[in-house]
Amino acid sequence: MKYDVIIIGAGPGGIFSAYELMQKNKNLRVAVFEAGRPLEQRKCPIDGRKIKSCINCQSCAIMNGFGGAGAFSDGKYNITNDFGGTLYEHIGRDEALDLMHYVDDINVSHGGQGTKMYSTAGTGFKKTCMQNKLKLLDASVRHLGTDKNYIVLENIFNELKNQVDFFFMTPVEKIEVLPEGYCITADRNTYECRKCIVSVGRSGSKWMEKICQELKIPTMSNRVDLGVRVELPAEVFSHLTDELYESKIVYRTEKFEDKVRTFCMNPYGSVVSENTNGIITVNGHSYEDKALQTNNTNFALLVSKHFSEPFKDSNDYGESIARLSNMLGGGVLVQRFGDLEKGRRTTEKRMAEGFVTPTLAAAPGDLSLVLPKRILDGIIEMIYALDKIAPGTANDDTLLYGVEVKFYNMEVELDERLESRYKGLYIIGDGSGVTHSLSHASASGVFVARNILAEI
């Protein structure tokens, strides 16, 4: 079986590669191999009643399948070089932004019409933040919402399905280098191609590491972000979220001069659990459709940790911390801010008495038994700093879910074309360590597709 291009992984990176290739050259033979299921078959069994926590499905419906980790995400496409990845370091700032706008146009024309683009440009919040030792990062953000994001993916798949060979539930096991291309092994079959795009995301991080070792592709250790997801009444942040939707705010702690930042803000959203390689962590999303919204806003507060010598495996460190919370709570833990400050665990009774109704059924517990002191101190300091621009953040009933871990894949050595040391073997999206977001991953997909089109 010979293909011009084989794409491994059908997350945003892989999808936008396939889309661009088929838009510009319908004669190309393109195959996409995906470890998970087609979009319509992706269903997480957690229903909050019969199944309350993760049961470690063979293929995690949240992380794997058409749409990748982004399928049930909030669909926040941040158009910025300030966060979300370092794509600009490879391809330049202007091209990175142009590609993110191009991706936005495609999303809007495939079901995202009518969704709002928010921007920090000209907002007065920058000043308010500065006056309170907080820094608001610049960005434009298109909020598709989980519902519209799904429709966009559905429409793109319908456009691609007759032109591209999709192999679902078919994880690629091996990549071999041939004199004129690549041979991949999946489900005991082999498939050859001239060019290969690897876009396996965070869930494919372990596999990516193995492939890099086998093919002797150099990698560098990356950081891990650790922290909690904060949930509070939406009114507390509504003045910010109504204007900006998502505000990326950074704080430098007075005690240790560590940077703590807000991440993935979901107004009127829900907190969810997430399974990465068997480890349960917390995340969040929200719907564009008002009928599906909640009364709460959630966002993460994260601290970055880098390791160099002699310990290098930042992800392993993050996993060990997450495993602690899984050990104590059977999954995600939740604690009231007031209980954390008073040095006591949260109980079912204290949760029930609180004014904030949790959107995730997590185990009430004590996060100070899980998170290192330095990280927890930083988070507490930032909660008080945020309380100055959004009074109510530091209320006793504010809920903290833990742990939120943002794993970053080790960074693969790539050139300015996102090509590995093998000609025609491209590594893109979150799996490359270069991107950490929907917009950057998608843009990297379009970028390599254009390079391939220029060569084939």
Ligand X SMILES: Cc1cc2nc3c(=O)[nH]c(=O)nc-3n(C[C@H](O)[C@H](O)[C@H](O)COP(=O)(O)OP(=O)(O)OC[C@H]3O[C@@H](n4cnc5c(N)ncnc54)[C@H](O)[C@@H]3O)c2cc1C
Contact positions toward ligand X, by CB under 6 A? Answer: 8-14, 33-36, 62, 64-65, 68-70, 73-76, 78, 84, 171-172, 199-204, 207, 264, 272, 274, 283, 285, 429-431, 436-439, 441
Q: Which two tokens stand for residue 128?
A: 């308010």
DSSP helix/strand/coil, 224: strand
What does DSSP assign to residue 435? B
Amino acid at 77: Y
CB of 184 or CB of 383, closer to ligand X: 184
Q: Which two tokens stand for residue 383?
A: 């909660």
CB of 300 or CB of 376, closer to ligand X: 300
What does DSSP assign to residue 290? G
CB of 13 or CB of 378, closer to ligand X: 13
Residue 2 beta carbon to ligand X: minimum distance, rounded to whole angstroms: 19
Q: Which of 151, 106, 16, 143 is nearest to 426 (CA)?
A: 16
**Rounded Cα distance, 274 and 53, in Å:** 10
C-beta atoms surrounding 216 within 10 Å: 8
What does DSSP assign to residue 85? B
**Rounded Cα distance, 395 and 398, in Å:** 6
CB of 227 or CB of 429, closer to ligand X: 429
Residue 344 beta carbon to ligand X: minimum distance, rounded to whole angstroms: 30
Q: What angle in degrees, to the nearest 10, is found between the helix axes of 93-107 and 438-455? A: 100
CB of 7 or CB of 386, closer to ligand X: 7
Residue 5 burial by Cβ neighbours in a 10 Å radius (0-12, 13-18, 19+): buried
DSSP helix/strand/coil, 405: strand
Residue 25 beta carbon to ligand X: minimum distance, rounded to whole angstroms: 21
Residue 403 beta carbon to ligand X: minimum distance, rounded to whole angstroms: 15
Q: Which two tokens stand for residue 271?
A: 């907190």
Residue 63 beta carbon to ligand X: minimum distance, rounded to whole angstroms: 6
CB of 282 or CB of 400, closer to ligand X: 282
Give me the DSSP letters along 264-324. EEETT-EEEEEEETTEEEEEEE--SSGGG--SEEEEEEEEEE---SS---HHHHHHHHHHH
| CB of 406 closer than 8 Å to CB of 224 | yes
Quickly tell me which residue has 């560098």 as its tokens: 220
CB of 37 or CB of 194, closer to ligand X: 37
| CB of 325 closer than 8 Å to CB of 318 | no
DSSP helix/strand/coil, 16: helix
CB of 78 or CB of 253, closer to ligand X: 78
Q: Rg of the chain over CA atoms, in angstroms?
A: 21
Residue 272 beta carbon to ligand X: minimum distance, rounded to whole angstroms: 6
Amino acid at 296: N
Residue 170 beta carbon to ligand X: minimum distance, rounded to whole angstroms: 7
Quickly tell me which residue has 């922290």 as its tokens: 227
Residue 13 beta carbon to ligand X: minimum distance, rounded to whole angstroms: 3
CB of 96 or CB of 340, closer to ligand X: 96
| CB of 197 closer than 8 Å to CB of 428 | yes
Residue 160 beta carbon to ligand X: minimum distance, rounded to whole angstroms: 15
Residue 361 burial by Cβ neighbours in a 10 Å radius (0-12, 13-18, 19+): middle
Q: Which two tokens stand for residue 213?
A: 């070792």
CB of 118 or CB of 337, closer to ligand X: 118
Residue 16 beta carbon to ligand X: minimum distance, rounded to whole angstroms: 8
